[in-house]
């Protein structure tokens, strides 16, 4: 998990820089936070030598980790919410994205990464 967690942490530092820029659209930090989350989940899967069923992605990774009881039920719900925000940003549904929501997502993903790192 080490290299992927490092990559996720680096991405989250970039997310914070984007959030600090008042001219930046919230879709940009949401996309990067989603990428950081995906890297962390993939690292957890690799560390546990787990695969995924179906199409690879944040949801499938989280499902496999939840089934293996590596992440909690609440973490799975949080991840689903963050994946939805990332999908909104990726598909141009910007009405769902505000700076406050982007900041909350960043906070949540950072807390998740912290817990995984301690884990």
DSSP string, 4-71: HHHHHHHHHHHHHHHHH-TTS-THHHHHHHHHHHHHHHHHHHHHHT---SSS-SHHHHHHHHHHTTSS
* Cβ-based burial of 84 (10 A; exposed 0-12, middle 13-18, buried ≥19): middle
Q: What does the DSSP 8-state code read for residue 95?
A: G
44 has a pLDDT exceeding 80: yes
Q: What is the pLDDT of residue 9?
A: 87
Range with the largest mean pLDDT of 3-7, 40-44, 51-55? 40-44
Q: What is the pLDDT of residue 72?
A: 96
């Amino acid at each position: 998990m080490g290299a992927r967690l490092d990559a996720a942490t680096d991405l989250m530092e970039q997310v914070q820089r984007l959030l600090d820029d008042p001219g930046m659209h919230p879709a940009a930090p949401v996309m990067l936070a989603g990428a950081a989350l995906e890297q962390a989940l993939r690292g957890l899967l690799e560390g546990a030598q787990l695969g995924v069923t179906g199409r690879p992605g944040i949801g499938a990774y989280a499902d496999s980790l939840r089934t293996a009881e590596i992440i909690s039920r609440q973490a799975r719900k949080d991840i689903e919410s963050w994946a939805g925000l990332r999908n909104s940003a990726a598909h141009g549904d910007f009405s769902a994205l505000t700076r406050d929501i982007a900041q909350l997502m960043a906070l949540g993903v950072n807390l998740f990464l912290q817990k995984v790192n301690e884990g």
